[in-house]
Amino acid sequence: MDQTSGRSTGPPARASNNVRPRVVIVGGGFAGVATAKRLRRANVDVVLIDKRNHQIFQPLLYQVATAVLAPSDIAAPLRQLTEVQPNLTVQMAEVIGIDVESRTIRAQLSDAAAFDVPFDFLVLAPGATPTYFGHDGFAENAPGLKTLSDAEVIRSKILKAYELAEVAPDSADRRRLTTFVIVGGGPTGVELAATIAQLARVTLRRDFRRIDPGQTQIVLLEGGKRILPSFDEDLASAARRQLNRLGVMVRTGAVAEAIDDRGVIVAGQLLPTATVIWAAGVAASRLSAQVGAQTDRAGRALVGLNLETSPGSGVFVIGDAASVLENGKAVPGVAQGALQQGDYVGKVIAARVAEGSEPAPFHYRDKGSMAVVGKDFALLEAPGVRMRGRLAWLVWAFIHIGFLPQLQNRLRVGVQWLWSYYTGQRGSRLITEGPSNLRRPDRLAEGPAPGSTTVGPGTRVELAAQPVERAP
């Protein structure tokens, strides 16, 4: 934009052969979809590229991981956006390279041949991935939570742990299998810990005969001085008390020094567990370093207040891939920030194409932060408002239902939440298996295993563990 006239300089020199400028958006999350929607009436062709064919409502991903919701409840196909937006094309592919000088990106779907997509404007919004802070080996035993596949893996690990504990012959094995460790005391870690506690003590309380799920141990590890560091200290303290009431052990100043199939080592001591969930941090996509911008320690591209890598470049980085400073303070990597950035960049591009006045520099409107800590308890912190308890929980529920991507998502989630609230049951308690061609072959023909009793043709039941007695 011409700083003296307040008018845009127009689009950069054409790289594509389109009659209209082509806007390529990499990433179908909150930021990318918001950009595409803002450009619905602009005189441009929009290409939205993502390696998945769906948009995920990230704030509820932990509920898929803990069997409250099914994956389809919080996801919507990206391709349906084209039904209401004629200038939008969706391509399912993974971006493997960006050449800003030639104004092309290189993409590939599975093992198919790679292809180039030219652009006049590029909006990079690929999201983030879990970071293990230099200990990438932790990933094998401590999955992060960023995708639907991650959520299904975690859900299967949690539910399978109880199934294994039911037939485990040794009390130490049963304790290890029914101990769950969450690394990271931010909103995701806190929400996971609380909902696993309710799963154990409410949903599963009468489902097993030889173990008592009510004896489940849940440990939340936080390396800092307190959980929920982005919240007011009084609210964070209230959340910790609520976790304690749910039976969650919160350990602050506790760093995971090693993670393997035995458990987690903290302060030199082994904490035996079969299930570790990583919620300690994220890193930006590697694509952030390919657009000619400087990056911060987390790999996020440093962009200006119009979210562009350099003035007039036509290359924008938004969402978790960008580091945006406003009055010396970083814009938080939350859904509202991504939505606002996507909407803003769409306005900037539309103004340049129309050769009109661009909007003022990006300004983040803080609409508040929320975290839910089990049934009937949530935290809400917004400018001038601090709230905790049941009212905050109701506000949280209505806001999250309202922001789900489709009407059918809202209806399904609303019904499932009502069912879970009054019955304590969860709608997606499935242990998913890997592809059938990769599973171990049937071993029934090998004969009974030592210590087992045959009770029918081809059927064996372990009898080592005795039924437990529960308190009335």
Report d(CA 27, CA 441) in Å as an integer: 39
Residues with Cβ within 8 Å of residue 464, at least 6 apart in sequence: 167, 168, 169, 170, 451
DSSP string, 321-389: GEE-EETTEEPP-SHHHHHHHHHHHHHHHHHHHTT-BPPPSP------EEEE-STT-EEEEETTEEEEE
Residues with Cβ within 8 Å of residue 79, at least 6 apart in sequence: 53, 90
Of the candidates 152, 166, 191, 381, the residue annotated as catalytic is 191
Radius of gyration of the chain, Cα coordinates, nearest whole angstrom: 25
355 is catalytic: no
Alpha-carbon dihedral 77, 83, 87, 90, rounded to 10 degrees: 20
State the amino acid at position 427 in one-letter form.
Answer: G
Which residue in this structure is represented by tokens 């596949």? 149
Kindly tell me the sign of the dihedral angle through the C-alpha atoms of 309, 310, 315, 318.
positive
The contacts found for 133-139 with CB under 8 angstroms, 24 or more apart, are: 133/280, 133/281, 135/259, 137/259, 138/256, 138/259, 138/278, 139/278
Kindly tell me the sign of the dihedral angle through the C-alpha atoms of 211, 213, 214, 219.
positive
**Catalytic sites, residue numbers:** 191
